[in-house]
Structure 1
């Protein structure tokens, strides 16, 4: 009886607390991310009926620019909840350490173990947690089942990048070089390098954010692999729009991206329903890691918010509950970071577009294997250097990947002031 009375008292206290939250919570976000957050409002209002949530879709770049301006102005004209991309997050923590609330003061430290470690890396400064993990971008290969089959390629047999290249040669032979195994944004972006480097436990910087590590062995192996793909003529070159055009036209047998690209393929090529499948990215070597991350966002709480308790409650409902994360997966295809959401029954549902494959299970099964990587506040500086160095290496301006990355390391060090790691 005493136990029952205690539980009843706790339930009543929780209900009273929920009733006490009121007012408006304004959220800044963009595009599909904004729609995803809106889809969680009904479940939030069941818990907190007196809080009105207003999600404002400002567009990705505008959210970033207005966030910088607001922080520079001491928190003026900031929302209660701010959407932020992981690789840009540390710009804010470094330049404006007082602009956002340390979520540990609201209980986020108790949620830390519920998310994979790599998702916290860029969201913390010291022991402070300035944002809560939202979606993630576990990397996989999306592939055309029909094109692979016509070329005699078995996706399940592709375990390493050498296997991928061998499969690409079969595709070249079958389609007279008119269909390629993938499209790389060489000269436009270095996303393939970042994905391959991450799976090799290497990145522009070390995880402490104190030195440049882009010329370490794992990164050298990544750039070497990209050159092998080009030398074998199994990939084409194209920017974001060119990549979409290529798979819509059936000129790409595969695409490698973060799992959020699922929605890009499905919405741009609805007529290809049933023709696509998914498998883990190839490893650098037999038995190697077949996981990486590309992209992903988080939610932060500006220090200037006048309704912090309600804002944090909204964030917690959307990001730290299985229902919130799975709702956004169903609504907009945003891949959960919350570990419990990866075990939800919906993850095991066969998806008709993907040939009735349980693609979310395939994708999310890699989440725990993703090595940590840190973009730091200098992410864009390093990225711009690598875009040029990668393109020059592919053109033959460097003899080896190590020579190219030694040069990249020097340039990144010069741009950031960080030393090149010994």
Structure 2
């Protein structure tokens, strides 16, 4: 499905042109403008990424590829970057050669024909290299449209001191009914078992965990399915979470990633998180007083079955260009950062959670018991637990088949508008909020020219 410039920009809302960012360079300019190599010169590659570990790979890559120069620019985090990226591509200048794109946003760029199928470079042979969840996320409509950069299999991060006080062992909590019972005990001990003020990504991850498949897109990109109200597994989660909201068993007032949220994690008033495997270093920096108190367990599931979902994680995608030489140089860097053992090790050593099976199975990774802070100090934040063993197991259990909308960035942006009141003032139920969200998404899809099932 090919979009006009007007329609493509509308997919993520009307946004002002970010001239400062757009001036960084272009993946679609001519060789003389874009940095493609002339005789005796280096090919310059522009990468947009907010990830702090990716720039660490540049030195090793340039040493192996002295004819290529890599410039990594932070053009903003997730939605901010996507807005700038859409503007640059549609404006015909300023786009990077490579962009970091989260798995949930990638279908939008594939449908709009903004990113290249990496099969022509051999990436279609990498299926056994990456975890099932990440590999399925970059395989869209018969092509490979990015390389997995990191991953976010869900895991249960918990403050053992608080749970010991409550008399709960999370390693023995396997079902959502058991989680509900644990939440009552943790509340009686003076803490909330977790927090959620209405996070769309968390909602997606939990419904995925329940086995829901509310979204689908036809191969030609003309038809979408939006079936939140009719999917029984979406209802399984909303009914479960509604009970916790109604009985004030989760903190719905504290916004995630706020100072108050970090304070809650730090003092134990928020006793655990159901979140992605990228969380350890965030806990170390955001909740330093939890050092030695926290542990990791597998996610409890609706029926106790051993399955999992992803929460977060991102890829590197090659922005479409007619400059074959430039594209080949850019792909070399992507392959080094996401597929080469040294490139991956550099990022993992910097705190990234890997998407590849080799790292997840390596003794060095699995035997880790400490985290290293910015000053080089080691912390056994998880009390000497071999925490990566739990996270690797979580990655192996991720189910495949969950699909994101081709306008998922918009969908997540309006979730709070439609369902937020179910968390904040409880003026509606979560089911009613989800119904309003579905209507919004259906109306929006039709406005953008999709046929909606």
TM range, normalised to the smaller chain?
0.7 to 0.9
User: Of the candidates 201, 211, 215, which is equivalent to residue 205 of structure 1?
Assistant: 215
**What are the Cα deviations for residues 193-212 of structure 1, in whole angstroms up to 9, with x where unaligned?**
22210112224413657311
Is 1:365 matched up with 2:393? yes
Unaligned runs of 5+ in 2: 1-39, 371-379
CA distance in 2, matches of 1:25, 1:249: 45
CA contact (8 A) 1:194 1:203 kept: no
**What is the correspondence of 1:29-68 to structure 2 with a 5 Å cutoff?**
29-30=49-50, 33=51, 35-60=52-77, 61-68=79-86
RMSD (CA atoms): 2.6
Shift of 1:274: 0.6
CA contact (8 A) 1:94 1:377 kept: yes
User: Of the candidates 364, 387, 408, which is equivalent to residue 416 of structure 2?
Assistant: 387
CA contact (8 A) 1:148 1:154 kept: yes
CA contact (8 A) 1:29 1:83 kept: yes
SS in 1 for 2:105: helix
Structure with bigger helix share is 1
SS in 2 for 1:300: strand
CA distance in 1, matches of 2:332, 2:338: 10
SS in 2 for 1:353: coil
User: Of the candidates 174, 193, 200, which is equivalent to residue 190 of structure 1?
Assistant: 200
Q: Could you say if the C-alpha distance between residues 201 and 270 of structure 1 is closer, same or farther in structure 2, counting changes exceeding 3 Å?
A: same
Q: Could you say if the C-alpha distance between residues 273 and 90 of structure 1 is closer, same or farther in structure 2, counting changes exceeding 3 Å?
A: same
Residue in 2 aligned with 1:136? 151
Q: Could you say if the C-alpha distance between residues 183 and 172 of structure 1 is closer, same or farther in structure 2, counting changes exceeding 3 Å?
A: same
SS in 1 for 2:149: strand
**What are the Cα deviations for residues 83-107 of structure 1, in whole angstroms up to 9, with x where unaligned?**
1122222222233x1x332211111
**What are the Cα deviations for residues 205-237 of structure 1, in whole angstroms up to 9, with x where unaligned?**
136573112220111111111112223322111
Paired residues, number: 388
Residue in 1 aligned with 2:13? none
Q: Which deviates more from structure 2 when the two are superposed, residues 140-149 or residues 237-246? A: 237-246
Residue in 1 aligned with 2:46? 26
SS in 1 for 2:154: strand
> What's the TM-score, normalizing by structure 2?
0.78
Shift of 1:253: 0.9
User: Of the candidates 180, 183, 186, which is equivalent to residue 192 of structure 2?
Assistant: 180
**What is the correspondence of 1:305-384 to structure 2 with a 5 Å cutoff?**
307-331=326-350, 333-348=351-366, 349-351=368-370, 352-371=380-399, 372-384=401-413
Unaligned runs of 5+ in 1: 1-19
Residue in 2 aligned with 1:228? 243
CA contact (8 A) 1:220 1:405 kept: no
SS in 2 for 1:49: coil
Residue in 2 aligned with 1:239? 255
CA distance in 2, matches of 1:155, 1:190: 25
> What's the TM-score, normalizing by structure 1?
0.83
CA contact (8 A) 1:246 1:252 kept: yes
